[in-house]
Amino acid sequence: MSFTLGTLTDSLGEKQIKAKELTDASRIVFAVYCGDALVLALWFQTRGAKRAGHRDGYLALVTVLASAIDPQVFSQEVMGPEDLVDTLINAWTSEMAARGLRAEPLPVSFRSKTSFATLATLPSPLLTLSQYRIELATADDVEILARQFSAFTAAWGKRLSIDDARPRVTLSVDFGAVWVCRVGGELAAFCVTRRATACTIALRNVYVDPQHRRKGIAAALTTGMLRYFLGAQPLGFEGASNDPPAAPGVKREVCLNVAEDFVENMYAKCGFLFGEDARDPIMSKRPWIPLVVRGAKMVQG
Q: What is the pLDDT of residues 273-301, one digit of tens each?
A: 887 777 777 767 677 888 898 888 888 86
Residue 282 placed within a domain: no
- The letter for the amino acid at 180 is V
Are 123 and 218 part of one and the same domain? Answer: yes
> What distances in angstroms separate CA 82 from CA 86, 114, 181, 233, one per listed residue?
6, 13, 35, 38
In Å, how far from its chain's centre is CA 152? 16
Residue 283 placed within a domain: no
- Which of the four pLDDT bands, split at 50, 70 and 90, describes residue 267? very high
- Which of the four pLDDT bands, split at 50, 70 and 90, describes residue 45? very low
Give the number of residues written for the chain: 301
Residue 84 placed within a domain: yes
Are 160 and 263 part of one and the same domain? Answer: yes
Are 170 and 262 part of one and the same domain? Answer: yes
Q: What is the pLDDT of residues 9-28, one digit of tens each?
A: 655 555 555 555 555 555 55
Residue 249 placed within a domain: yes
Mean pLDDT within 185-192: 96
Residue 281 placed within a domain: no
> 111 CB contacts (<8 Å, ≥6 apart)?
259, 290, 291, 292, 293
Are 25 and 94 part of one and the same domain? Answer: yes
Structural domain count, the chain: 2
Instruction: Classify residue 244 by its DSSP letter.
Output: P
- Average pLDDT of the chain? 80
Are 28 and 158 part of one and the same domain? Answer: no
**Domain enclosing residue 125, as ranges:** 119-270
Residue 277 placed within a domain: no
- The letter for the amino acid at 278 is A
Using an 8 Å Cβ cutoff, are 6 and 200 in contact?
Answer: yes
Neighbours of 265 (CB within 10 A): 10
> What distances in angstroms separate CA 5 from CA 19, 38, 102, 273, 296, one per listed residue?
20, 11, 31, 21, 23
> What distances in angstroms separate CA 157 from CA 47, 72, 146, 150, 296, one per listed residue?
21, 29, 17, 11, 22
Using an 8 Å Cβ cutoff, are 256 and 114 in contact?
Answer: yes
Are 184 and 145 part of one and the same domain? Answer: yes
* C-alpha count within 13 angstroms, C-beta hemisphere, residue 20: 12
* C-alpha count within 13 angstroms, C-beta hemisphere, residue 276: 0
Best CA proximity match to 87, nearest among 107, 109, 69, 61: 61
Best CA proximity match to 180, nearest among 143, 234, 155: 143
Instruction: Report how far residue 11's alpha carbon sits from residue 9's, in angstroms, rounded to the nearest whole number.
Output: 5
Q: Which helix (H) or strand (E) holds 206?
A: strand 200-208
Are 208 and 101 part of one and the same domain? Answer: no
Mean pLDDT within 251-280: 86
Residue 286 placed within a domain: no
Are 256 and 133 part of one and the same domain? Answer: yes
Best CA proximity match to 251, nearest among 213, 184, 194: 194
CATH number at residue 178: 3.40.630.30
Instruction: Report how far residue 106's alpha carbon sits from residue 90's, in angstroms, rounded to the nearest whole number.
Output: 10
Instruction: Report how far residue 86's alpha carbon sits from residue 95's, in angstroms, rounded to the nearest whole number.
Output: 14
Residue 278 placed within a domain: no
Are 125 and 188 part of one and the same domain? Answer: yes
Are 65 and 170 part of one and the same domain? Answer: no
> 252 CB contacts (<8 Å, ≥6 apart)?
118, 199, 200
Q: What is the pLDDT of residue 50?
A: 40
Are 175 and 126 part of one and the same domain? Answer: yes
Q: What is the pLDDT of residue 170?
A: 95
Cis-peptide, bond into residue 234, ω within 30° of zero: yes
Are 25 and 136 part of one and the same domain? Answer: no
Using an 8 Å Cβ cutoff, are 121 and 281 in contact?
Answer: yes
- Which of the four pLDDT bands, split at 50, 70 and 90, describes residue 217? very high
Instruction: Report how far residue 203's alpha carbon sits from residue 47's, in angstroms, rounded to the nearest whole number.
Output: 16
